[in-house]
């Protein structure tokens, strides 16, 4: 007969081996060479932009951009639309988001030459750079519409709006994509909530780079216009960055929509904006908003100095399995009694 001590010893040995295997499985996958190159390129672009802005006197306060992202704006200006969280703007700078966008694209089976629609607010210029850099790394073809107004700490510096930032990124070789259209942003994406001077400044910025501004009478018309442009391009995915009014719509249900990759047929209540139109027309959506939740979901540190680490979301389940296994063994061990 096998003694209780022998059984216990082997049980603990097997538990240790199982936990060691789960620990390995739970560890974040290392960046592959292409992901590492992408991470380095985005970080180099950020450091370049930070130095460029220091040189031309438009740098954000050191406390707002302590890690030299170069894509954090100011607290308020005439082109500011709403309040925004400075921590979220810093968190959006992490080049790990470029890796995450690339992984989302690959999970959808996208191939070189496939079109991706990127409808972005000016509120998250760093996240926009991450998404575009990921698309370009896979040789995808972005169809880009940017709402130029921005919430606080976004691309809201009057001298470095998104057209200016993008122009410098292209000049320095960090970006190829040119916007297809702009909107003013703000309410109905027609400049609502901004000062007249801010609206004029953004119109001038668009005119200087020769990108057309979409015009519509109201929010519903802007949603229809952006949805029509989406349908005409037949993209493989819609990337919606920030909270552009037409992308979101004005139905309260959209505020409960989970951030991240959303696939058609998931039963999501996506509201009445462009994202809802995309899902109803079998176009997956990457809903890039609520950075704190997205960061937690994908294992990307929130509001901390960028370090070359991979997103870890895909392996979080193994950690949970390890904890459940450990407590299952502990609670069924004969020497343990619940009082």
Lowest mean pLDDT among 60-69, 112-121, 314-323: 314-323
Could you tell me what percentage of the chain is helix, strand and coil, using 3-state DSSP and rounding each to the nearest 5? 45, 10, 40
Which residues contact residue 304 at a Cβ distance below 8 angstroms, ignoring those fewer than 6 apart?
91
Task: Check whether residue 186 and residue 244 sit in a common domain.
Answer: yes
Q: What is the pLDDT of residues 257-296, one digit of tens each?
A: 999 999 998 777 789 999 999 999 999 999 999 999 999 9
Q: What is the pLDDT of residues 161-170, one digit of tens each?
A: 999 999 999 9
Give residue 22's pLDDT band: very low, low, confident or very high (50, 70, 90): low
Which residues contact residue 285 at a Cβ distance below 8 angstroms, ignoring those fewer than 6 apart?
237, 238, 239, 240, 261, 262, 270, 275, 278, 279
Task: Check whether residue 323 and residue 215 sit in a common domain.
Answer: no
Task: Check whether residue 284 and residue 321 sit in a common domain.
Answer: no
Task: Check whether residue 176 and residue 260 sit in a common domain.
Answer: yes
Task: Check whether residue 282 and residue 322 sit in a common domain.
Answer: no
Domain tally for the chain?
2
The residue ranking higher by pLDDT, 16 or 6, is: 16
CA distances from residue 117 to 10, 136, 146, 331 in whole angstroms, order as listed: 56, 13, 11, 51
Task: Check whether residue 19 and residue 46 sit in a common domain.
Answer: no
In a domain, 74, yes or no: yes
Which residues contact residue 323 at a Cβ distance below 8 angstroms, ignoring those fewer than 6 apart?
none
- Angle separating helix axes 196-209 and 162-171, nearest 10 degrees: 30
Cβ 101 vs Cβ 135: under 8 Å:
yes
Cβ 135 vs Cβ 38: under 8 Å:
no
Task: Check whether residue 287 and residue 232 sit in a common domain.
Answer: yes
Stated pTM of the model = 0.86
Task: Check whether residue 23 and residue 152 sit in a common domain.
Answer: no
Alpha-carbon radius of gyration of the chain:
23
In a domain, 308, yes or no: no
* Mean pLDDT of all residues in 46-72: 96
Q: What is the pLDDT of residues 304-325, one digit of tens each?
A: 999 998 898 644 555 566 567 6
* Terminal CA-CA length for the chain: 31
In a domain, 311, yes or no: no
Burial of 4 (0-12, 13-18, 19+ CB in 10 A): exposed
Q: What is the pLDDT of residue 10?
A: 63
Q: What is the pLDDT of residue 309?
A: 86
Q: Is the pLDDT of residue 328 over 80?
A: no
In a domain, 303, yes or no: no
- Angle separating helix axes 125-137 and 162-171, nearest 10 degrees: 40
Residue 73 and residue 58: Cα distance in Å, rounded? 9
Residue 211 gets which letter from DSSP?
-
In a domain, 338, yes or no: no
Task: Check whether residue 12 and residue 97 sit in a common domain.
Answer: no
The residue ranking higher by pLDDT, 339 or 193, is: 193
Burial of 272 (0-12, 13-18, 19+ CB in 10 A): middle
Per-residue 3-state assignment (H helix, E strand, C coil) for 226-242: HHHHHHHHCCCEEEEEC
In a domain, 203, yes or no: yes
Q: What is the pLDDT of residue 310?
A: 85
Residue 256 and residue 106: Cα distance in Å, rounded? 26
Average pLDDT, the chain: 90
Lowest mean pLDDT among 21-30, 74-83, 167-176: 21-30
The two tokens of residue 151 are 């919430």
Q: What is the pLDDT of residue 324?
A: 73
- The partner residues of 142 in beta bridges, in order of sequence, read 116
Q: What is the pLDDT of residues 227-256, one digit of tens each?
A: 999 999 999 999 999 999 999 999 998 998
Displacement of CA 336 from its chain's centroid (Å): 47
Task: Check whether residue 17 and residue 89 sit in a common domain.
Answer: no
Task: Check whether residue 155 and residue 16 sit in a common domain.
Answer: no
Q: Is the pLDDT of residue 11 over 80?
A: no
Displacement of CA 97 from its chain's centroid (Å): 6
Cβ 226 vs Cβ 246: under 8 Å:
yes
In a domain, 337, yes or no: no
Residue 299 and residue 22: Cα distance in Å, rounded? 17
In a domain, 274, yes or no: yes
Give residue 24's pLDDT band: very low, low, confident or very high (50, 70, 90): very low
Question: For the chain, where are the alpha helices, taking DSSP H only?
Answer: 4-26, 33-55, 86-91, 96-107, 125-137, 162-171, 196-209, 219-233, 245-248, 274-280, 291-298, 316-332
Task: Check whether residue 43 and residue 162 sit in a common domain.
Answer: yes
Q: Could you tell me the residue range of the domain that residue 211 belongs to?
A: 33-298
Residue 50 and residue 169: Cα distance in Å, rounded? 11
């Amino acid at each position: 007969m096998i003694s209780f001590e022998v059984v216990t010893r082997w049980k603990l040995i097997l538990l240790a081996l199982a936990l060691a295997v789960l620990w390995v499985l739970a560890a974040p996958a290392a960046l592959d060479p292409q992901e590492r190159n992408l991470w380095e390129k985005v970080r180099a672009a950020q450091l370049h932009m930070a130095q460029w802005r220091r040189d031309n006197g438009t740098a954000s306060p050191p406390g707002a951009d302590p890690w030299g992202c170069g894509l954090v704006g100011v607290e308020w200006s005439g082109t500011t639309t709403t309040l925004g969280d400075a921590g979220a703007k810093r968190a959006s700078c992490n080049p790990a988001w470029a890796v995450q966008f690339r992984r989302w694209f690959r999970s959808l089976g996208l191939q070189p030459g496939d079109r991706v629609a990127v409808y972005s607010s000016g509120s998250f210029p760093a996240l926009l750079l991450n998404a575009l850099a990921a698309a370009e790394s896979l040789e995808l073809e972005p169809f880009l519409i940017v709402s130029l107004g921005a919430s606080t700490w976004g691309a809201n510096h009057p001298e470095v709006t998104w057209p200016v930032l993008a122009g410098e990124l292209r000049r320095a070789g960090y970006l190829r994509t040119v916007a297809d259209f702009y909107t003013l942003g703000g309410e109905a994406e027609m400049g609502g909530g901004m000062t007249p001077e801010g609206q004029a400044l953004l119109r001038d910025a668009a005119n200087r780079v020769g990108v057309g501004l979409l015009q519509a009478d109201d929010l519903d018309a802007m949603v229809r216009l952006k949805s029509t442009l989406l349908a005409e391009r037949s993209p493989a995915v819609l990337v919606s960055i920030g909270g552009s009014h037409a992308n979101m719509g004005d139905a309260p249900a959209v505020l409960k929509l989970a951030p991240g990759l959303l696939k058609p047929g998931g039963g999501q209540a996506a509201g009445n904006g462009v994202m809802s139109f995309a899902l109803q027309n079998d176009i997956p959506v990457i809903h890039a908003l609520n950075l704190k939740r997205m960061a937690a979901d994908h294992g990307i540190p929130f509001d901390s100095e960028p370090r070359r680490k991979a997103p870890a979301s895909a392996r979080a389940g193994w950690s949970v399995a390890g904890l459940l296994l450990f407590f299952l063994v502990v609670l069924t061990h004969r020497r343990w009694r619940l009082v």
